[in-house]
Chains A and B, each alone.
Chain A
Amino acid sequence: MVVMILERVPASLRGELSRWLIEPHPGVFIGHVSGMVRDRLWEKCCRRRDTGGILQAWSTNNEQRFTIRTYGDTRRAIVDFEGLQLVCVKPVQNSRK
């Protein structure tokens, strides 16, 4: 299974992605494609994201049973803890004088 989450990307990119995956929630795509197609979709989104953020997760045969990658501007980063992928919420940049 593949899950992709697109934030603040051009509408045409989301429209195009819906040819491969279903979009049950705005910007959230789910489906099942081969590894090669998955990589192509990833590259396509990275190229055409404008200033948006992209997340892709897919099932793999590791301990967690999935792998995640992100690209662009997201406030959360994926951190690797010796083979365990966890989410790091970056501190808010205080704009106080």
Chain B
Amino acid sequence: MRIQDLHELPKLRDGLSYLYLEHGRIDRRARAVEFINQEGRVLIPVASLAVLMLGPGTSITHEAIKTLADNGCLVNWCGEEGVRFYAQGVGETRKGYRLIRQAELVSDPARRLEVVRRMYQFRFEEELDPALTLQQIRGMEGARVRRAYAEASRRYGVFWMGRAYDRGRWYAADPINRALSAANACLNGLCHAAIVSAGYSPGLGFIHTGKMLSFVYDVADLYKTRLTVPLAFRLTAESPMQVETRVRHACRDLFHRERLLGRILDDIDQLLNLTRPMTRGQADLTVDVDADPALPGELWAPEEEDDTVAGGVNYGGDDS
């Protein structure tokens, strides 16, 4: 049974952030998505879940993936805690105006630079001088990130040699690097889910460029030093044992306390100046495509005042 009306799906900010599973099978039975292992069957609340993280020893069926995609739940396959592969559904909206706006901004160098500046400004306490070049800002940002790591290292007394990990050998990395990787996997997953859920493209990045997840890296970087870096150092200082699972547990509480799921989309809209819809046409869509995704969309008509004419209409006139 497909979701007919997207309004049935809880808003991202009201939902659950992520669920990490390993060693079991994910299947669909009697319309429920369930995780099965020797212990029994665990029912997964997919409609309110943003990200499902599948660790080692999991297998998932065609029916389960279909249901997850339909319910706007992002799936990450993680190889030993690091994310290896993503599967995304179509998100929880059929409205295209955010994607159009994102593409417009990314394609125009001057407007793209404005967004990039706003993204950097978002991370700095002090006002950035408009005279600074992008190269200078990048230098300041590099120094800021280094300071954040050094400060967290000093505050929690965790030895810090720099970010180092071998993608092929998870357990070869030191506990702090594993903690950071696990925390960032959660943060990136949530940012990715938020981006898809609102109808943006994960591939059209502003600061990052050239990869299918460039925009995910842009958004995750807004929060890293404030959220996941201190958390990873704090938990590693407590104990080097089982850092990954403890980090994921702590991330859940932190993201809830910081209302991250509610903030991500507001922050993106702010950075892309999308707090107001682009044109009158998008502001009061005569058809709500989320109530019925099968409704015809509008046609582009630059001569019209709101740039659109109704779709699903034959404009051929009367040829009798």
Contact = CB atoms under 8 A, between A and B. Distances in A.
A62 to B, nearest CB: 6
A3 B252 CA distance: 24
Contacts of B40: 77, 88-91
A84 B19 contact: yes
Given A63-B17, A64-B16, A83 B252 contact: yes
Contacts of A81: 19-21, 42
B42 A86 contact: yes
A22 interface: no
A89 B253 CA distance: 26
A77 B42 CA distance: 9
Interface in B38-76: 39-45
Interface string B17-44: 1011100000000000000000111111
Q: Report which residue of A82, A87, A88 has the largest number of chain B beta carbons within 10 angstroms of its beta carbon.
A: A82
Interface string A69-89: 000000001010111101111
B248 interface: yes
A82 B250 CA distance: 8
Nearest to B37: A88
Contacts of A83: 248-249, 252-253
Contacts of A62: 253, 256
Interface residues of B, number: 19
B273 to A, nearest CB: 30
A13 B135 CA distance: 73
B256 A88 contact: no
A25 B101 CA distance: 52
Contact of A84 (B43, B252, B255): B252
A68 B179 CA distance: 29
A81 B53 CA distance: 12
Nearest to B17: A63
Given A82-B20, A82-B245, A63 B39 contact: no
A91 B20 CA distance: 22
Interface in B241-268: 245, 248-249, 252-253, 255-256
A82 B253 CA distance: 10
A88 B20 contact: no
Contact of B41 (A63, A82, A84, A88): A88
B16 A63 contact: yes
Given A79-B42, A91-B41, 16 more contacts: A63-B16, A63-B17, A63-B255, A63-B256, A64-B16, A79-B39, A82-B20, A82-B248, A82-B249, A82-B252, A86-B44, A86-B45, A87-B43, A88-B42, A89-B41, A90-B40
22 contacts: A62-B253, A63-B16, A63-B17, A63-B253, A63-B256, A81-B19, A81-B21, A81-B42, A82-B252, A83-B249, A83-B252, A83-B253, A84-B16, A84-B19, A86-B19, A86-B42, A86-B44, A87-B42, A88-B39, A88-B42, A89-B41, A91-B41
Interface of A: 62-64, 77, 79, 81-84, 86-91
Interface of B: 16-17, 19-21, 39-45, 245, 248-249, 252-253, 255-256
Q: Which 8 A-B pairs have the closest CB atoms?
A: A83-B252, A63-B256, A90-B40, A82-B249, A82-B248, A83-B249, A89-B41, A88-B40
